[in-house]
Structure 1
Amino acid sequence: MLKYQAPMIAVAPMMDWTDRHCRYFHRGLTKHALLYTEMVTAEAVLRGDRARLLAFDEAEHPVALQLGGSDPARLAAAARVGEEAGYDEINLNVGCPSDRVRSGAFGACLMRTPDLVAESVAAMKAAVGIPVTVKCRIGVDEQDPEEALDRLADGTFAAGADALWVHARKAWLEGLSPKQNRTVPPLDYGRVRRLKARLPGRFVGLNGGLVDLEAAAAELPAVDGVMVGRAAYREPWRLAAVDRLFFGAARDADPFAAAERMIAYAERVLAEGGRMAPVVRPMIGLFHGCEGARRWRQILTVEGARAGAGPDVIRAALAAVASSREGLDSGAPRVDRAA
């Protein structure tokens, strides 16, 4: 069973980004980082196509299912389905500021109803035997982050939550778009550090604006875990150093091997009726900063989108960057902004 103990590093759940193809690819770069699904609503789990919504490869473990919702009984039922599907953790979304989430009265809106969050956590904990966690903001709109985050955290942990991941920004549900909410509200890492200092026996993780692994590592041990998001997706080569920096591996993962691993995976996806474009999309930034990176991106984006595209797209893209091997240091691309 997944155990929450410091230090922990995770790749943040991101709508339209951390799908099963992305997670499988990321696992080729790090054996130990915790991976998350995109947010799936409890109602979708209970009423929708579970085989499609909850599909994942066994290689993805440890992998967590993030749920959205505000009905404790429905969340508990969906959590039970997630556990039965084989997920290692259930996470409740209390941070997403999207229009869809606002109209459904969950996500970041739940920062205003911490008692309901606690009730939901308690219901899910009673329903499953795997960890139940919460991902939240430091507050929404006019809330005082000191009071809002403390109240949410205290209720969440009293209800039995195994961890609280905090995106160190407010969410402005009035006045900012979902995209702006990812970058415009100022980061306040100090607020998350103060929460951890007040709750030394609880797992508190930090998310938001961590542009690289060095920045993430610098936040430890002030917090128990760090969660990287867009940096991991846009420049996935950074994940190649996770196991060395955080888990004692002898060397970084090899980006070439991670890409080659996707060839057999793509063959399986195509055999199931899938397409190449979603498979190669999370791979586009793998060789950012290396010789041949531009050609790599071009082949994956253009050739990968063509009707009938197959695994040879990955082979061709790898051939375009093969000459950059001598530009790699311990398996990670040498960053050269002129490339």
Structure 2
Amino acid sequence: MTSQAFRFCTAPMMDWSDTHCRVFHRLLTKRARLYTEMVTTGAIIHGDRHRLLGFDPAEHPVALQLGGSDPRDLATCAKIGEDFGYDEININVGCPSDRVKEGRFGACLMAEPQLVADCVAAMKAAVKVPVTVKCRIGIDDQDPEVALDALARAVVAAGVDALIVHARKAWLNGLSPKENRDIPPLDYDRVYRLKQAMPTVPIIINGGIKSIAEAKLHLAHVDGVMLGRAAYQDPWRLLDVDPELFGEERPYPTMKDALEALIPYIERQLAQGLRLHAITRHLIGAYQGVPGARAFRRYLSEFGVRPDADASVLLKAMVAVTDRASAEAA
């Protein structure tokens, strides 16, 4: 698998990057690699797999992120994910939440590089699709120069196909998960040095990247860039991914075109019993910064949550943007 496959990715985000979000994002970019929310091995082994792992074929290429630390369980779940059709299996070694720490997975695994390597080796033996790791540069009092190298060397020896690095430490003692997304300082140079030390390993950088312009700057040093909150809260940014990073045309010229293309998907989901809000909650930022964006958000927030809401709510919300934009332009 070439590093070009990882050139641009959207991050796995709990409660955000579900299948409806990913279908929307795929309409904005054909080339981005999309990641699921983290799903724990216990949930997959004991829970409703179709609810947890089902996705729309339009999402490809899409990667499944797993949370766990038992090599056998991860291998089992990696195989299940491959059988569901995922293009990649990723293991979470970066999430700093208390629940993750108590379960001995996520960022606390930065302290156990050999265990992570054992997990990667077991997953690699179980599947043919790429197996990747998403990590931090270190945790708590670890020296990032030592900790990141130790993890990277271990998982590369185990056959990892790519390493996605959130360029911040995670402070498991003293900071909340929300604070861990912002307070520890970013150290992009540390990730650049990892790439210099491992020129043949695809290295993807993550953390605090706010625009496609910033992504292009990072691509001078690493193989790929992963956007999280910027891609979710301001999804219009994704319209520039294909032309700016891959030299290809946008899938749809404008956000309006992309949202109209989402209507058939919405209608199919509603016919299966889904509530409209489960999809439109991901669209709130579609017109961020555009005249009429507030009217769009207000309309979706007010009418999209109603039990009988249908696809016409989105169409009417879009008219509100057009009407408001026209009024302000006049």
TM exceeds 0.5?
Answer: yes
Return the alpha-carbon distance in structure 2 between the equivalents of residues 301 and 36 of structure 1.
26
Q: Given the two structures, how large is their TM-score scaled by the length of structure 1?
A: 0.94
Which ranges in structure 2 are unaligned for 5 or more consecutive residues?
A: none
Q: Distance in 1 between matches of 2:307 and 2:269?
A: 15
Per-residue CA deviations over 1:57-82 (Å, capped at 9, x if unaligned) read: 00000000000000000000000000
Residue 21 of structure 1, CA deviation: 0.5
One-letter amino acid matched to 1:181: N
> Equivalent residue for 1:267?
267
User: Equivalent residue for 1:302?
Assistant: 302
Contact 1:97–1:171 (CA under 8 A) maintained in structure 2: yes
- Give the Cα separation in 2 of the matches to 1:214 and 1:247: 13
Partners of 2:292 and 2:244 in 1: CA distance: 27
Looking at structure 1, the residues matched to 250 and 124 of structure 2 have their Cα atoms a distance apart, in angstroms, of: 38
CA distance in 1, matches of 2:270, 2:307: 12
Secondary structure, in 3 states, of the residue corresponding to 1:290? coil
Tell me the amino acid that sits aligned with residue 86 of structure 1. G
SS in 2 for 1:28: helix
1:212 corresponds to 2:189: no
Q: For the structure 1 residues 41 and 223, does the alpha-carbon distance in structure 2 shift closer, same or farther, using more than 3 Å as the test?
A: same
CA contact (8 A) 2:41 2:74 kept: yes
The answer to whether the 8 Å contact 2:6/2:204 transfers is: no
Q: CA deviation at 1:56?
A: 0.5
Structure 1 residue 308: deviation in Å?
A: 1.3
Find the counterpart in structure 2 of residue 256 from structure 1. Answer: 256
Matched residue type, 1:15: M
Partner of 1:332: none
Partner of 2:183: 184
Per-residue CA shift, 1:218-240, capped at 9, x if unaligned?
Answer: 11120000000000000000000
RMSD over aligned Cα atoms: 1.8
Q: Give the Cα–Cα distance (whole angstroms) in 1 for the partners of residues 79 and 2 of structure 2.
A: 19
TM-score, length of structure 2 as denominator length: 0.96
Deviations 1:91-140 (A, max 9, x none): 00000001110110100010000000000000000000000000000000
Aligned-pair identity (%):
58
Distance 2:278 2:66 in 1: 22
| 1:34 counterpart = 2:37 | no
The question of 1:155 aligning with 2:154 is answered yes
1:322 Cα offset (Å): 2.5
The residue number in structure 1 matching 2:230 is 231
Is this contact kept in 2: 1:4–1:162, CA < 8 A? no
Residues in 1 aligned to 2:118 and 2:194: alpha-carbon distance in whole angstroms: 21
Q: Distance in 2 between matches of 1:138 and 1:36?
A: 20
Structure 1: distance between partners of 2:92 and 2:6: 22
The residue correspondences of 1:40-79 to structure 2 (distance < 5 A) are 40-79=39-78
1:204 is displaced (CA, Å) by: 0.6
Task: Output one character per residue of 1:14-51: Cα deviation in whole Å (capped at 9) or x when no partner.
Answer: 00000001000000000010000000001111111001
What letter is aligned with 1:269? Q
SS at match of 2:282: helix
**Residue in 2 that maps onto 1:276:** 276
- For 2:321, the equivalent position in structure 1 comes to 321
Cα distance change, pair 326–299 in 1 and its aligned pair in 2 (3 A): closer
AA at the equivalent of 1:29: L
Q: Deviations over 1:136-175 (max 9, x none)?
A: 0000001000000000000011100000000000000000
Q: What SS is found at the alignment partner of 1:56?
A: coil
Q: Which stretch of structure 1 is more off in the superposition, 190-199 or 5-14?
A: 5-14
Task: Quote the residue 1:331 is aligned against.
Answer: none
Task: Give yes or no for contact 1:169–1:186 (8 Å, CA) kept in 2.
Answer: yes
2:16 is matched with 17
What's the CA shift for 1:250? Answer: 3.6
* 2: CA distance, partners of 1:4 / 1:323: 44
Q: Distance in 2 between matches of 1:82 and 1:175?
A: 35
Instruction: Give the number of aligned pairs.
Output: 328
Structure 1: stretches of 5+ with no match in the other structure: 328-335
AA partner of residue 279 (structure 1): I
Cα pair 1:168 1:192 within 8 Å, conserved: yes
